[in-house]
Amino acid sequence: MEIVLKGKIKEAIRKIYNSEVSDDLIQLQETRKDFRGDFTLVVFPLLRFSKNTPEKTAETIGMHLVENFQPVSGFNVIKGFLNIEISDTWWMEFLGKMAIEKDHLEKCKVAAPETILVEYSSPNTNKPLHLGHIRNNLLGYSLFRLLSATGHNVVKTNIVNDRGIHICKSMLAWKEFGNGETPESSGMKGDHLVGKYYVLFEKAYRFQVDKLILDGIPAADAKNSAPIMKEIREMLLKWESGDKEVIDLWKMMNSWVYAGFDETYKKLGVDFDRIYYESETYKIGKELVLTALEQNILYRNNDSSIWADLTADGLDQKLLLRSDGTAVYMTQDLGTAVDRYNDYKFDKNIYVVGNEQNYHFQVLKAVLKRMGYIWADGLIHFSYGMVELPEGRMKSREGTVVDADDLIVEMHETARKVSLELGKLSDFTDSEKEEIFRKIGLGALKYYILKVDPRKNMTFNPEESIDFNGNTGPFIQYTYTRIKSVLRKAAQTGIDESLKNLNSVKPQPKEIELIKLLRKFSETVSAAASEYSPALIANYCYDLAREYNQFYHDYTILGEEDIAVRDFRLVLSRLTSEVLSTGMWLLGIEMPERM
């Protein structure tokens, strides 16, 4: 409608003022809720053509639209703003067309689809996934579904940080303190067991540093000269040189972690098309760095370390290889980017990584472009804010993070408690109840995280997320099951929705508002995909569920005596359920049929 209406406004200006206007001067937007109307035209840019007051210009254009464009049923003028009213007939015709659509996402398809890689998760194999990883995974997976829904060829990728100093910390601690402990002997998930030794290393390291400081050694020197830190550096050198004992230990502990990760990913409902490993891509990165050094793109420092001078790009100087020849994070990211481009020839590679890494990705793009990779312009850092708890920030080294597995279990149990208190599941079997609890718990977790603008920091509160009222996943799920209940009752009583009498129905204002919201679905999906913001979909679903509940409260559906009105309301209900289900699917949220 906006496109057609803009064309009619241009036509009006041409006929009234004998002037051609460019598209950018037709500023059309949705009318604010506190004014009557559907679309508002900003008249001020058009005064150069009308040579008249804003009010008179708006009134003249409004009258022309009413007389020459049937969908426009009226208008009102507020200073320099023309509020245009669309007829109920047009809205009902729109509903009729939407009712026969097989795919509500078809209108969202882009004209020129691209190959897009979305990288998310990016865990370290020295600890289990935590709440921060949950936000990362949920954002990345939802972004994959949004971009796919708009027609792009999307590849879900993961880079596992399986090498480096931090990985060696868990390995050394297990070697020193583990006494052969395994996931089987301990009864712990593999990633949890390895994480336990990461924390033990940090405790031992802090103990040694504190002792050196007490002996009079400056803090900075104490951190570098702690005996256990020297052992870590030696272990990393042995790993990079292929020492069999170190490699065997690394493989064993990583296998424990991978098994644990897979279990968590399955619970969370996310997956990947391709997994890359830093232990492989860092080698490509090292070759790139050494080649660029030979070409004088990089420089070697006096201590033999290799650096990129990016001061001309407004950045700093960046270390790419340490003096002992070992690689840093940037080295593997260079290798991963090149490896991925060779694999997929992508148009865009989107990195779902927290905002503390903003500078890192500026450097990555700058170094690749220095190396001659013009496709580096397609690297996009999807920078999101940190997730915290009401009591403050989590710290992995101190073991104060919220474990992803524990949180998923907690959400399931909270869903169980709240659902049983509501007392609406008496007719369900135990297995049916558990499946509903799972969907409600995960839905609450996913929605609470995804409804927040990804660029903002957020505080996660499990109790708030599970509320069946307000802007929560369970509220939307409950609205959906309420509609499905109405549709089941209609089917059980032999009522079939029909569109044949739609033209005879005079819709009520709340019903028109619901149709208007349904119309916004495709444009909301397109905006969410182009802006990389699942939050737009989440909050749209909440607005739609809230609007439907008001409609449900005010109007009779199955008990309506006018058959045409009853059928219209059934169509309206069905479409609302379909859009809610599709919208929540884009967020990776399952919808129970009953609850």
Structure tokens at 500: 């044949």
DSSP 8-class letter at 40: E
Q: For residues 578 and 573, what is the distance between their CA atoms, to the nearest angstrom?
A: 9
Q: What CATH code would you report for 404-586?
A: 1.10.730.10
Q: For residues 381 and 441, what is the distance between their CA atoms, to the nearest angstrom?
A: 30
* Span 581-595, average pLDDT: 95
Q: Give the DSSP letter string of 44-84.
A: GGGHHHH-S-HHHHHHHHHHHHHHH-TTEEEEEEETTEEEE
Q: For residues 340 and 337, what is the distance between their CA atoms, to the nearest angstrom?
A: 5
Q: For residues 140 and 145, what is the distance between their CA atoms, to the nearest angstrom?
A: 9
Lowest average pLDDT, out of 407-411, 445-449, 475-479, 481-485, goes to: 407-411
> 3-state DSSP call for residue 174?
helix
Does the pLDDT at position 393 exceed 70?
Answer: no
The answer to whether 161 touches 123, Cβ cutoff 8 Å, is yes
Equal CATH topology for 120-388 and 404-586: no
Structure tokens at 563: 């058959």
How confident is the model at residue 231, as a pLDDT?
Answer: 95
DSSP 8-class letter at 375: G
How confident is the model at residue 470, as a pLDDT?
Answer: 84
Protein fold of 120-388: Rossmann fold (3.40.50)
Q: Where are the domains of the chain?
A: 2-86, 120-388, 404-586
Does the pLDDT at position 246 exceed 60?
Answer: yes
The answer to whether 205 touches 228, Cβ cutoff 8 Å, is yes
Q: Tokens 């015709």 — which residue?
A: 93
Q: Which residues contact 48 (CB under 8 A, 6 or more apart)?
A: none
Neighbour tally for 588: CB within 10 Å: 23
DSSP 8-class letter at 31: P
The answer to whether 181 touches 193, Cβ cutoff 8 Å, is yes
Q: What CATH code would you report for 2-86?
A: 3.30.1360.70
Confidence of residue 497 (pLDDT cuts 50, 70, 90): confident
How confident is the model at residue 400, as a pLDDT?
Answer: 54
The answer to whether 123 touches 108, Cβ cutoff 8 Å, is no
Summarised one tens digit per residue, pLDDT across range 163-184 is 988 999 999 999 999 999 999 9
Q: For residues 25 and 28, what is the distance between their CA atoms, to the nearest angstrom?
A: 9
Classify strands 153-160 and 274-277 as parallel, antiparallel or unpaired.
parallel
Q: For residues 353 and 133, what is the distance between their CA atoms, to the nearest angstrom?
A: 10
Does the pLDDT at position 394 exceed 50?
Answer: no
Classify strands 379-384 and 348-354 as parallel, antiparallel or unpaired.
parallel
* Span 180-208, average pLDDT: 95
Mean pLDDT for the chain overall: 92
Summarised one tens digit per residue, pLDDT across range 61-116 is 999 999 999 999 999 999 889 999 999 999 999 999 999 988 999 999 999 999 99
The answer to whether 475 touches 542, Cβ cutoff 8 Å, is yes
Q: How many CA atoms lie within 13 A of 20 on its CB side?
A: 1
Q: For residues 416 and 255, what is the distance between their CA atoms, to the nearest angstrom?
A: 34
Strand residues in 412-502 grouped as ranges (E)? 458-459
How confident is the model at residue 392, as a pLDDT?
Answer: 52
Q: For residues 166 and 397, what is the distance between their CA atoms, to the nearest angstrom?
A: 10
Does the pLDDT at position 539 exceed 90?
Answer: yes
Summarised one tens digit per residue, pLDDT across range 291-337 is 999 999 999 999 999 999 999 999 999 999 999 888 889 999 999 99
Q: For residues 549 and 544, what is the distance between their CA atoms, to the nearest angstrom?
A: 9
Beta partners for residue 92, in sequence order: none
DSSP 8-class letter at 374: G
Does the pLDDT at position 399 exceed 50?
Answer: no
Work out whether the CA dihedral 267, 461, 140, 394 comes out positive or negative. negative
* Span 366-373, average pLDDT: 96
Percentage of residues of the chain with pLDDT beyond 90: 82
* Span 185-193, average pLDDT: 96
The answer to whether 367 touches 318, Cβ cutoff 8 Å, is yes
423 CB-contact burial (10 Å; exposed 0-12 / middle 13-18 / buried 19+)? exposed
Helical pair 521-530 and 563-586, crossing angle rounded to 10 deg: 10
Q: Which residues contact 370 (CB under 8 A, 6 or more apart)?
A: 292, 297, 308, 310
How confident is the model at residue 463, as a pLDDT?
Answer: 74
